[in-house]
Amino acid sequence: MTARTDTPGSVTTVYKVSGMSCGHCEGAVSGELSELSGVTSVKAVASTGEVTVVSASALDEEAVRAAVDEAGFELVGRA
């Protein structure tokens, strides 16, 4: 598990997402994940398939999976 607390009250989790290949893909995934309650920052990197999410508390993985699916990609799991 790659969840860690960087600052008091925040959790950083790195997820693996398959199918991202460009900046537009990164934007689509970031946009959907940014809408989840408590999310303060999202950084998607197509070349590695990694998406780093900073949130106020741990996120429900099914909610993350649904957001990634809505963007048209597949959540593989945590990096």
At residue 71 the predicted structure's pLDDT band, cuts being 50, 70 and 90, is: very high
Asked if the model's pLDDT at residue 79 lies above 60, the reply is yes
Copy the structure tokens of residue 32.
């959907």
In tens, the pLDDT along 6-53 reads: 566 799 999 999 999 999 999 999 999 999 999 999 999 999 999 999
What residue segments make up the domains of the chain, in order of their start? Answer: 11-78
pTM: 0.89
Question: Looking at residue 1, what is its pLDDT?
Answer: 39
Q: Report the 3 state secondary structure along the chain.
A: CCCECCCCCCEEEEEEEECCCCHHHHHHHHHHHHCCCCEEEEEEECCCCEEEEEECCCCCHHHHHHHHHHCCCEEEEEC
Question: Looking at residue 45, what is its pLDDT?
Answer: 98
Fold for 11-78, please state it: Alpha-Beta Plaits (3.30.70)
